[in-house]
Structure 1
Amino acid sequence: MVKTVVGEEQQLKLAEDRLSQSGLSCEVGLVIGRLSSKLDRGLVFDLVQTPPNDAGDPACSLINNNYHTNKNKKGGSSSKLKQTSYSSPLLSIDADWVSEHARQVSRMLLGGMKVAGIYIWTSEISFKNSTLVLCQTVKGVAEASHFMATNLDESLLIHISYSPRRWTCRNFSVASNITSSSLRPCDFKMGKALASLQTFRCTYTFDMRLPIFYENRSSIKSLAAILRHGIANQVQELKATKALIDGKLVIDVEQCASEGLHDVEFLVPFMQNTALEACSQEEVVGVLTFRGSVCSFAYINSKEPVSQALTDIKRDILTSLQSRLDIICDEEDSESYHIASGGAESRNEISTTKLGPKLDPEFLSQQCNIAFPRRVFVPWLADTYICDYIQPSETLEVLKDHFVELMSMEAPADASGILELETEAPTLGSFAYKSFWEIAISSSSESKPTLIKRNIVNAGTGTCLEIRKTANFNIIAAVLTLVISISVGLALLFFKGSS
């Protein structure tokens, strides 16, 4: 459990000055930081204001809760009305909007950084009167911002009071029920949170082969579901890897004493492929090959072991793949809505990714390219970076609006500071693997079309989807060829032994 929280003094003082000069009676936003269960310590790097919703209304406002007591006293022919009123300011928070803000900001944070909770700028009395709505908001933000399951189920609630002026911090257990005891006080102090961070960088190359199963043509899963399953399988593959940091094999308990950037390399065991599943030929209609490279950063406290950096990098890799898939699915949903709303473009004119809700059987005979967004890294605080994703057709100009709206910051005017460490992989067109059966049957494809290939999809930073269907008589012929070859070999060995 996190017992002590250290906030980056420079950033939090800037946030306090902005709030005090704003004239607002309340404001809600996200806490960007890092929580360490091993050190029982939390770090707060910055506070990010939640922007107004689509209707232009603020995410947080104050309302008055009025109580009226009426008593009629009967006496003679007259009656007296006694009225007592009590006004108590309560917080009204658009919890869904704050959670959506947390979901999108989480995509921009690298390994070791997370949406660690929320902050609230309000008076002491309104804070005390709004415990329930604050707990609900913290819980919603925690659920929205955690893409991958973690062992840490804590979030922070920072209260900046202007009457009187002070900072307090409470720890909220996400797994617990929302009660008056859900918030536990923890020590909060200002310090140098960013100066204690160490930086680790890794480029991870993946190559997934994901079978497309079907019982009948109407039950084929969507490509999005297949990709999500494949990304989840990468968890097991990453667990089996060994790691090198700056060329040296990692020992879990050791700490990294040197400063600067540390390069991480994962060594995957030979022939390790957790995505392969036993299946019969009748169950599989195709194989989705999803390949590319992910560039990842992670930041840990200098007192934490390097094994924590590896854990954060692995989680960042999986989160990045999941975020790109979510971005594509979100855009496809918006395109579908545009069509349903009577957009000028027709379905045939729109380049859709066919990710959901179900893979259309007719799509299996088409060729379609799916390019996943590239990850770019933008300088943030001190020597740290945050990231964003751009589509192949987009330029770095689109980053400006993202950072202004989501992170309450201006994108760097000089684009040279933005790191584009991921490059687009070439699109794979007609890409075929030679199997034993193709080699065993030495007949040209022109005279005997023994293999039907359908290139369906190029997904990821470079991917392709292939469907192969080999005729039954060719399989039988190949089996007979193999049996005859083995028999002849055994016969030769027998005669050679006899002589």
Structure 2
Amino acid sequence: MVKTVVGEETQLKLVEDRVFQSGISAQVGIVIGKISSSIDRGFVFDLIPTPPNDGGQPACYISESKDDNSNKKKGSAKGKSQTQLDSSSPTSSLVIDSDWVAEHARQVSRMLLGGMHVVGVYVWASEISFKNSTLKLWQTVKEVAQAAASFENGLDERLLIHISYSPRRWTCRNCSVGSTMTSNSLRPCDFKMGRVLASLQTFRCMYNFDIRLPIYRENLSKANTLTNILHNGISRHAKELKSAKDIIDGNLVVQDQPCTSDGLHEVELLLPFMKDASFEACSQKEVLGVVAYQGSACSYAYLSPREPISQAVADIKADILTSLKSRLAIISDEGEEDMDSTAEAGRDSNAEISTEKSISKLDLSLLRKSCILTFPRRVLVPWVGGAFICDYLQPSETFQVLEDNLKELMSMEAPIDVSKIIEAETEATSLKIKSFWDAVISNPSTSQSASPSKKNSQKDSTQKEASREPVKSTTFNIVIPIIVLLVAMLLGFFLFVRDPKAHSRVV
């Protein structure tokens, strides 16, 4: 249970000044940080406001009582002071679009590296509005926790930060996002500010992967879409990755020790040599083809002070899996709008399928041609305090798309310095999907016209011819030395009988 939370002072002061000068009565957003169960401590790196929804409406505002509405009709509204007066009304409460906040959290979670997570929700509101909206705030935190859950997340704790302007102060609560809200679901915790980002340790890993998955016949599996196959494959690969040996800066990690050295730490993962369990008990009658999900993933992780070095390795592994799932989610999201055309293209065996939109939701048991799918590449962008965040770009997208995404989702108004962007995943090592139809007969028309008896007779004759050839070859190889030996013996005997005196003289 987290009892102490430390926030990055530089970033949080900027957030406080920004919302205070804006004059708005309420604002909601997400909290980026880390909750460390090993040291029972929480860290807050930054607060990101949730942007307006598609209709241009804010994600949070103050509900107005009947008295407030009557005052507005009489023309008593007086700008900022009246707004704060309304929010201080005993009946005022917060109206929050929790679904939109959760969607914002889901998209931002894709842009965070290892050791960074969406750990909760913050709200800018008066004390009265906050107290009158406890249930709604808890529900929002719970939805955010579900939308931005990490790959292996066993914690049910999230943070709820309240920035009050009447009076002006910060408070933090530990939210237990269980099934129902109880009296212990919101517990106050000690909140203080300090230099958090400057004390982070950075770890990097270039991970090469090759995940091969079978495509079953339609009557044996109902999960033959590309999305389902890869999702299940990544989940299985997580078990192998968990048992990998860890090497940091050339040294094998053998014990749970803190990281004492500064600078960038290089991580290598050694996977165990084992047979791919996904192909066990599979035969040619069950499998139509193979999906090969292969490439390189650039992974980063940030270790907080006093955390053991094993936590950095765990964050690296989780970041690799999250990165693979995020690319798959991007492909799936972009293919939603083309579902109808995709299904029709898949039923046509002569259809040329080459784009990610045309096969992301396609039932691969209907596909009869090999295809290649290029996945988005991961690029790293400088964020705050020397830390990086990431985004994913399709082969046809430019850095302008990257800048637009960061501005909308991360509230980064300053232009991006292109020279500081890290592109470790080059085009040569980008992620790809390859479907191999090795089990499909190359000429179905010929095989269907042949009768079973004819096939069996051809098979038997082929086996007989194949069995005769090695016997002939072996017999021939044995006879030749025997003939040579007999000729030599006869020749020697003939010479001895013809001239026995010559033999005696030699002796």
TM-score bracket, normalised by the shorter chain, equals 0.7 to 0.9
The correspondence for 1:465, drawn from 412, 435, 448, is 435
User: Counterpart in 2 of 1:290?
Assistant: 293
Contact 2:215–2:287 under 8 Å retained in 1:
yes
Report the CA distance between 1:92 and its aligned residue. 0.4
User: Counterpart in 2 of 1:358?
Assistant: 363
Aligned counterparts of 2:465 and 2:91: Cα–Cα separation in 1: 87
User: What CA deviation, in whole Å up to 9, does each residue of 1:302-345 have, x standing for no partner?
Assistant: 311111011111111000000000000111113448999xxxxx
Which residue identity lines up with residue 403 of structure 1 in the other structure?
Answer: L
Contact 2:226–2:360 under 8 Å retained in 1:
yes
Q: Write out aligned runs for 1:106-125 (5 A).
A: 106-125=109-128
Aligned counterparts of 2:342 and 2:288: Cα–Cα separation in 1: 30
Q: CA RMSD in A?
A: 3.0
User: What CA deviation, in whole Å up to 9, does each residue of 1:336-372 have, x standing for no partner?
Assistant: 48999xxxxxx989943312153361x22x3433110
Q: Radius of gyration: which is bigger?
A: 2
Which residue identity lines up with residue 461 of structure 1 in the other structure?
Answer: L
Which residue identity lines up with residue 129 of structure 1 in the other structure?
Answer: N
Residue 58 of structure 2 aligns to a residue whose secondary structure is: coil
Residue 364 of structure 2 aligns to a residue whose secondary structure is: coil
More strand by share: 1
Aligned counterparts of 2:162 and 2:222: Cα–Cα separation in 1: 51
Residue 204 of structure 1 aligns to a residue whose secondary structure is: strand
Aligned counterparts of 1:215 and 1:332: Cα–Cα separation in 2: 22
User: Counterpart in 2 of 1:319?
Assistant: 322
User: Counterpart in 2 of 1:496?
Assistant: none
Q: Write out aligned runs for 1:485-496 (5 A).
A: none
Residue 279 of structure 2 aligns to a residue whose secondary structure is: coil
Is 1:39 aligned with 2:39? yes
Structure 1 residues 482 and 31: CA distance shift in structure 2, 3 A:
farther
Contact 2:218–2:224 under 8 Å retained in 1:
no
Report the CA distance between 1:224 and its aligned residue. 1.1
* TM-score (ref. length: structure 1): 0.80
Aligned counterparts of 2:134 and 2:354: Cα–Cα separation in 1: 48
Report the CA distance between 1:381 and its aligned residue. 1.0
Residue 374 of structure 2 aligns to a residue whose secondary structure is: coil
Contact 2:53–2:59 under 8 Å retained in 1:
yes
Residue 437 of structure 2 aligns to a residue whose secondary structure is: strand
Is 1:22 aligned with 2:22? yes
Residue 113 of structure 2 aligns to a residue whose secondary structure is: coil
Structure 1 residues 257 and 480: CA distance shift in structure 2, 3 A:
farther
User: What CA deviation, in whole Å up to 9, does each residue of 1:247-296 have, x standing for no partner?
Assistant: 00002311111001000000112245344332122110111111111000
Is 1:172 aligned with 2:175? yes
User: Counterpart in 1 of 2:283?
Assistant: 280
Report the CA distance between 1:467 and its aligned residue. 1.2
* TM-score (ref. length: structure 2): 0.79
Q: Write out aligned runs for 1:331-350 (5 A).
A: 331-336=334-339
Which residue identity lines up with residue 359 of structure 2 in the other structure?
Answer: K
Structure 1 residues 370 and 190: CA distance shift in structure 2, 3 A:
same
Q: Write out aligned runs for 1:124-163 (5 A).
A: 124-163=127-166
Report the CA distance between 1:149 and its aligned residue. 3.0
Which deviates more from structure 2 when the two are superposed, residues 216-225 or residues 120-129?
216-225
Contact 1:131–1:180 under 8 Å retained in 2:
no
User: What CA deviation, in whole Å up to 9, does each residue of 1:57-76 have, x standing for no partner?
Assistant: 00001113559xxxxxxxxx
What stretches of structure 1 of length at least 5 have no aligned partner? 68-85, 341-346, 427-459, 490-499
User: Counterpart in 1 of 2:219?
Assistant: 216
Aligned counterparts of 1:286 and 1:41: Cα–Cα separation in 2: 48
Contact 2:258–2:307 under 8 Å retained in 1:
yes
Contact 1:300–1:308 under 8 Å retained in 2:
yes
Contact 1:374–1:461 under 8 Å retained in 2:
yes
Residue 237 of structure 1 aligns to a residue whose secondary structure is: helix
Which residue identity lines up with residue 354 of structure 1 in the other structure?
Answer: I
User: What CA deviation, in whole Å up to 9, does each residue of 1:6-55 have, x standing for no partner?
Assistant: 00001000000001101000000010001101111011010000000000
Which deviates more from structure 2 when the two are superposed, residues 243-252 or residues 118-127?
243-252
Aligned counterparts of 1:245 and 1:482: Cα–Cα separation in 2: 56
Structure 1 residues 108 and 248: CA distance shift in structure 2, 3 A:
same
Residue 12 of structure 2 aligns to a residue whose secondary structure is: helix
Aligned counterparts of 1:410 and 1:482: Cα–Cα separation in 2: 77
Q: Write out aligned runs for 1:201-240 (5 A).
A: 201-216=204-219, 219=222, 221-240=224-243
Contact 2:197–2:385 under 8 Å retained in 1:
yes
Aligned counterparts of 1:482 and 1:246: Cα–Cα separation in 2: 57
Aligned counterparts of 2:467 and 2:427: Cα–Cα separation in 1: 42
Residue 136 of structure 1 aligns to a residue whose secondary structure is: helix
Structure 1 residues 107 and 337: CA distance shift in structure 2, 3 A:
farther
Contact 1:132–1:179 under 8 Å retained in 2:
no
User: Counterpart in 1 of 2:308?
Assistant: 305
Structure 1 residues 25 and 233: CA distance shift in structure 2, 3 A:
same
Is 1:60 aligned with 2:63? no
Which residue identity lines up with residue 203 of structure 1 in the other structure?
Answer: M
Aligned counterparts of 2:459 and 2:42: Cα–Cα separation in 1: 61
Q: Write out aligned runs for 1:31-110 (5 A).
A: 31-65=31-65, 88-110=91-113
Contact 2:94–2:133 under 8 Å retained in 1:
yes
Structure 1 residues 18 and 481: CA distance shift in structure 2, 3 A:
farther
Which residue identity lines up with residue 437 of structure 2 in the other structure?
Answer: I
Aligned counterparts of 2:334 and 2:49: Cα–Cα separation in 1: 25
User: What CA deviation, in whole Å up to 9, does each residue of 1:161-217 have, x standing for no partner?
Assistant: 000111000001122522343101000001111122100000111111100112539
Is 1:254 aligned with 2:254? no
Which residue identity lines up with residue 109 of structure 1 in the other structure?
Answer: L
The correspondence for 2:199, drawn from 174, 196, 200, is 196
Which deviates more from structure 2 when the two are superposed, residues 4-13 or residues 279-288?
279-288
Aligned counterparts of 2:116 and 2:122: Cα–Cα separation in 1: 17
Contact 2:223–2:229 under 8 Å retained in 1:
no
Aligned counterparts of 2:253 and 2:459: Cα–Cα separation in 1: 48
User: What CA deviation, in whole Å up to 9, does each residue of 1:357-397 have, x standing for no partner?
Assistant: 53361x22x34331100000000111210000000111112
User: Counterpart in 1 of 2:376?
Assistant: 373
Is 1:384 aligned with 2:383? no
Identity of aligned residues (%): 56
Contact 2:2–2:40 under 8 Å retained in 1:
yes
Q: Write out aligned runs for 1:446-457 (5 A).
A: none
Equivalenced residues, count: 430
Contact 2:220–2:286 under 8 Å retained in 1:
no
Report the CA distance between 1:152 and its aligned residue. 1.7
Which residue identity lines up with residue 194 of structure 1 in the other structure?
Answer: L
Aligned counterparts of 1:479 and 1:180: Cα–Cα separation in 2: 82
The correspondence for 1:424, drawn from 404, 422, 427, is 427
Residue 44 of structure 1 aligns to a residue whose secondary structure is: strand
Which deviates more from structure 2 when the two are superposed, residues 92-101 or residues 367-376?
367-376
